[in-house]
Amino acid sequence: MNEVHYESYQEKDKMLLKVLDENGNITDIEATKKEVHEKHLWHQEVAIFIINNEGKILLQKRSENVHYNNNKWGMVANHVGADQTLVDALLQKAKEEIGYNINQNDIRYLTMLKRNEEREQRFTYFYYIKTDIKDKDINLNTYLAIEKKWFDFYDLQELMLMNSDEVVFKNTPEYINIFGELSKIIKGTNTDKEYRKKEFIILNTTDGCFFPGLIQHADKETKSIIIFIHGSGGNFFKANYYEDMFEDFNYYGYDFMICNNRGSEQFYRLHRNIAGVNETIQAGNMYENFDESIYDVSAAVNYAKMNGYEDIILIGQSLGTLKVQYYCEQIGDISKVILLSPVDMVNRFRSRVDNQYDELISKSKKLVEEGKPYEMLTKEYSAIKIASTMSIGSKADLFMLEENRDISKPLNYKGFVSIIAGSNEHVYKGWSMEYVENRLRQRFKNAKFQFHIIPNSTHNYNEHEKQISKLIVDSIKNMI
């Protein structure tokens, strides 16, 4: 092995690398590290997860001297020099950065990622090693790394799922798969999982999407779980009132699952893997296709079933109520539903655009037919969002609260439904709560119906968090 030690990152920029083609084949071209970055040339990178006998993963906090991801926790990683093998590059960097001589016979291959990113185009080869490494074996090069830390796998997975700025790992299908493989490798070692009330999970939809979520476990093992589906642009990582729900539901013996879906945030790029091919699509509240929401709800319900839950309660909030109800109308395997502030999206959109409603609906459907679903028609919404969510007769057109709508044919759902709404809801366009209750009661004529009003509460339940949790628990108890 040719060992090369660089005194500075300016020197490292002069390091010669092999240039690859877009399929990962080595070409006859060599270029400096600086050149491959500036010219966006394909090249090789290696990284290794160092796992000790307790199942902890070693990371270093990158110093200010590094060019990329400085002050973030990362693994030993290295560009592959023109005269190096992949393993050579790993051994060199481990020695250089953490002062540790890895036994190359213990190195195991994990996976490879083709990463076409704004900063650089690279093929990254991931490895791992399970070793009896001790703190005394580590001698950090403080020019490269200022601190070391042993991470519990589940703590690190949580940081990845939350897109934390503390670590280099991000919530992408690639890293989700990597952490899935790591969980198999670490399984059986002394991790903290069995003692954790909060379990971060990955939901996989049948159309190839990945969504983060968590289950907050009750103190005692239970077969009952409440699954929460958020509303427009929601993100369970950012909503504080869920914490009250965690505590209350756990106290009464329910596990609680909450997860993001393709309507999370106003806009984000959703990663999807279909038949082994990764693609990125536009998602979020602006670009969501409501018809696909059934995949997200199904993923949550199926996860609960696969993990042994027998009593499953679905809760939807705002637009989430329509997603829950659409699932129940199509699948029909859930008999207990809570709808928080159910909304009529046809009416809400008509209220916003007034006499432009018919024109915008027509334009949205035409653009979708022409293969232009993501073209924006208003500042807030794309064609696919409007056509699939705001048009009469769409899959989302379920509650029909407007006075002139024919509701003589009720919804199919025959289970228990409890509807909870605040008296100061902005989504009901000045209708009386008596009108709203009567209208929904007719829509749910086939169901076992409850309706509750929280005085002075708004759509977001500010200062009424405990009250709504108690109402939900009481409603579930009455579903017998």
Q: Answer whether 447's CB lies under 8 Å from 366's CB.
A: no
Count of structural domains, the chain: 2
Same domain, 116 and 216: no
24-57 b/e (C-beta count within 10 Å ≥ 16 → b): eeeeeebbebbbbbeeebbbbbbbbbbbbeebbb
Give, for 468, the enclosing helix (H) or strand (E). Answer: helix 465-477
25 CB-near residues (< 8 Å, 6+ apart): none
Residue 334 CA to residue 391 CA, distance in Å, equals 27
When pLDDT is cut at 50, 70 and 90, the band that residue 280 belongs to is: confident
Same domain, 147 and 225: no
Considering Cα of 193, then 196, then 197, then 200, what sign does the dihedral take? negative
The yes-or-no verdict on residue 431 having pLDDT over 60 is yes
Same domain, 64 and 127: yes
Q: Answer whether 202's CB lies under 8 Å from 257's CB.
A: no
With 0-12 CB in 10 A as exposed, 13-18 as middle and 19+ as buried, what is 301? buried
374 within domain boundaries: no
DSSP per position, 269-294: EEEEEETTEEEEEEESTTT--GGGHH
392 within domain boundaries: no
Which tokens sit at 127? 């490895």
Select from 157, 186, 215 the last residue of a domain: 186
51 within domain boundaries: yes
Q: Which CATH number do you get for residue 443?
A: 3.40.50.1820
Q: Answer whether 79's CB lies under 8 Å from 44's CB.
A: yes
367 within domain boundaries: no
Same domain, 181 and 208: no
The yes-or-no verdict on residue 136 having pLDDT over 90 is yes
Query: Which has the higher per-residue pLDDT, 270 or 72?
Result: 72
Whole-number percent of the chain with pLDDT over 90: 65
Residue 407 CA to residue 392 CA, distance in Å, equals 13
pLDDT digits (tens, 9 = 90+) for 79-109: 999 999 999 999 999 999 999 999 999 999 9
Same domain, 69 and 153: yes
Same domain, 159 and 226: no
Q: How many CA atoms, within 13 angstroms, populate the side-chain half-sphere of residue 354?
A: 0
252 within domain boundaries: yes
CA 58 to chain CA mean position, Å: 25
Same domain, 54 and 123: yes
> Cα torsion for 113, 186, 169, 243, to the nearest 10°?
140
Same domain, 128 and 153: yes
pLDDT digits (tens, 9 = 90+) for 230-254: 988 877 766 655 666 778 899 999 9
Q: Give this prediction's pTM.
A: 0.78
Q: Answer whether 14's CB lies under 8 Å from 33's CB.
A: yes
Residue 163 CA to residue 282 CA, distance in Å, equals 18
Supply the pLDDT for residue 19.
Answer: 93
Same domain, 138 and 178: yes
Select from 122, 156, 186 the last residue of a domain: 186
Residue 310 domain boundaries: 197-344+399-477
Helix %, strand %, coil % of the chain (to 5): 30, 25, 40
Same domain, 176 and 267: no
390 within domain boundaries: no
Same domain, 214 and 71: no
DSSP per position, 109-172: EEEEEEEE-SS-EEEEEEEEEE----GGG----TTTEEEEEEEPHHHHHHHHHTT-TTBS--SS
Give the count of beta carbons closer than 10 Å to the beta carbon of residue 415. 17
Please state whether 400 falls in left (phi above 0), alpha (psi between -120 and 50) or beta. Answer: left
Rg of the Cα trace of the chain?
26
DSSP state of 356: G
pLDDT digits (tens, 9 = 90+) for 315-362: 999 999 999 999 999 999 999 999 999 999 999 999 999 999 999 999
**Residue recorded with tokens 């006499």:** 355
* Closest to 247 (Cα-Cα) out of 467, 466, 460: 466
Select from 186, 208, 226 the last residue of a domain: 186
142-158 b/e (C-beta count within 10 Å ≥ 16 → b): ebbbbebeebbbbbbbb
Angle, in degrees to the nearest 10, between helices 345-353 and 357-369: 110
The yes-or-no verdict on residue 6 having pLDDT over 70 is no
The yes-or-no verdict on residue 374 having pLDDT over 70 is yes
Q: What are 340's strand-pairing partners? A: 317, 420
CA 440, 396, 286 angle in degrees (round to 5)?
130
When pLDDT is cut at 50, 70 and 90, the band that residue 212 belongs to is: confident
CA 29 to chain CA mean position, Å: 40
Q: Which CATH number do you get for residue 174?
A: 3.90.79.10
The CA distances from residue 468 to 33, 215, 223, 451, 460, in Å, are: 57, 20, 23, 13, 11
Same domain, 120 and 263: no
DSSP state of 394: S
